[in-house]
Amino acid sequence: MANAIMLQGTGSDVGKTVLVAGLCRAAKNRGLKVRPFKPQNMSNNAAVADIPGDTAGEGEIGRGQWLQALACGVRPTVYMNPVLLKPQSDVGSQVVVQGKVFGEARARDYQAMKAKLMDAVLDSWAKVGEGADLVIVEGAGSPAEINLRSRDIANMGFATRANVPVILVGDIDRGGVIASVAGTHLILPEEDRRMIAGYLINKFRGDVSLFDDGIKAIEKFTGWRCFGVVPWLKAAGRLPSEDSVVLERLASGEKRALKVAVPMLARIANFDDLDPLKAEPQVEVVFVPPGKRLPENAGLVVIPGSKSTIGDLIKFRENGWDRDLAAHRKRGGHVVGICGGYQMLGRMVRDPEGIEGSVREAEGLGLLDIETVMEPEKTVRNSSAQSVQFGLPLEGYEIHLGRTTGPDTARPSTILNGAEDGAVSADGKVIGTYLHGLFSADAFRAAYLGSLGVKGGGIDYRAAVEKALDEVAAELERHLDCDAIFGLAR
């Protein structure tokens, strides 16, 4: 097995994903063969990854592990995130194991399922470490959830089984970081507490020396060493985000030439499809929360992917967004629907087998003359594609259920792996596609924005992500004792 270290958090959304990505890039820059690993992830922002040795070839992992693999300079595999939970209701999730759909489970049922899933986690762990010098592991949530400890596979349950030393991450930006670190120490059982080699503080704003007394206090309470205090990483904002929690903090930026409105669906998926547009200097992307109207001055509305198309379609109407969208179209506005958003744009979505839940059909938004029928077989693949409108190459992937047919598919929006995909309205202003990553292709993005009267392009989006990873790694080298952190690995 390769040497390994693990980052666990005092809570969710403390910045573990970015820190692991940054440390992976820092280790790569030091010449190490490094790999990421997250035993269990919960996210509807999924990515396509290789299944080594499988003729099917590809499966799903969390978007965070895809980013971390990019930081390592390696192709992602399903073993980097063996258990992925994709929430599709308030009480249940789809369970993906080593890239493939394993089943659905309510929260209580999933707890009982974990014992079997640990075998898949440990099998994947052995495979990820093959040929690597270092594996950097990301925990999930917090190890302080001791009510769930007996069946844990994501934090200390994994760390103790795999004998991986842990660094605890505290988020000072949310407040109470001293109590969260000291409190974690207090309530952990001794077996778990022994696994923690120290901690680091993340998201510090201002003069770091002001926290010197905080470090002394934490040491007094815990005896743990501090590996450093990480400032607020501006470059992290240019990296794809995995957790939809981040959407709750997004605010409208400065006014620009084109406003793009994105309704925040309850089961929004793969919302990082919008990141390339956010990077454009002339584009303002506004995520619209439930209860708020779609802005009247938006030139483009993008309906993103969804893990529960029918459920989100019903909520779409409850929010009154269907009326806002109809008014947007009357004003001559443009609409793009991606994956689940594409399905919503049609006349009807049917689910005869109840794959998504108990509601078997829902009337669509009626902006495209198409109909979608949900089918059990899921399409998961990286795709070579081309824009029909501009004849330009596209890049991206597909993760979807359902087959879409209808008259408007005679005007496809894209060619995916040699086959026609998507649909376009007669006036060309409504576009639907199953291709995630549509806006990542720089030439297409520039051409599409140009068709809306906005200057785009001049940005190499992929290069910008690589540059942001390098900047995060440089900041971590500057503010953390990376020699000591990498020296912990065993």
Query: Does residue 339 have an active-site annotation?
Result: yes
The CA distance from 219 to 182, in Å, is 9
Instruction: Provide the Cα torsion 468, 196, 135, 10; round to 10°.
Output: -40
| Helix or strand holding residue 312 (H, E) | helix 309-318
- Total length of the chain: 490
Map tokens 């003359």 to a residue. 369
| Helix or strand holding residue 378 (H, E) | none
**DSSP-derived 3-state class of residue 113:** helix
Map tokens 């901690």 to a residue. 199
Closest CA to 275 of 473, 77, 71, 464: 464
The CA distance from 475 to 200, in Å, is 14
The CA distance from 95 to 92, in Å, is 9
Map tokens 């995909």 to a residue. 421
Phi, psi of 318 (to 5 degrees): -60, -30
Residues contacting residue 196 through CB under 8 Å, at least 6 positions apart: 8, 165, 166, 167, 168, 185, 188, 224
Of 24, 72, 226, 339, which one is the catalytic site residue?
Answer: 339
Q: What is the DSSP string of 42-55?
A: E-S-EEEEE-TT-S
List the structure tokens of 57.
Answer: 């070839």
Query: Does residue 436 have an active-site annotation?
Result: yes
Residues 28 and 71: beta-carbon distance below 8 Å:
yes
Helices (H) and strands (E) in the chain, counts: 14, 28
User: In angstroms, what CA-CA distances link 15 with 100, 171, 237, 467?
Assistant: 27, 8, 11, 19
Q: In what order do the strands lie in the sheet with 258-263?
A: 283-288, 258-263, 300-303, 334-338, 430-433, 423-424
Of 328, 436, 479, 482, which one is the catalytic site residue?
Answer: 436
Q: Which residues are catalytic?
A: 339, 436
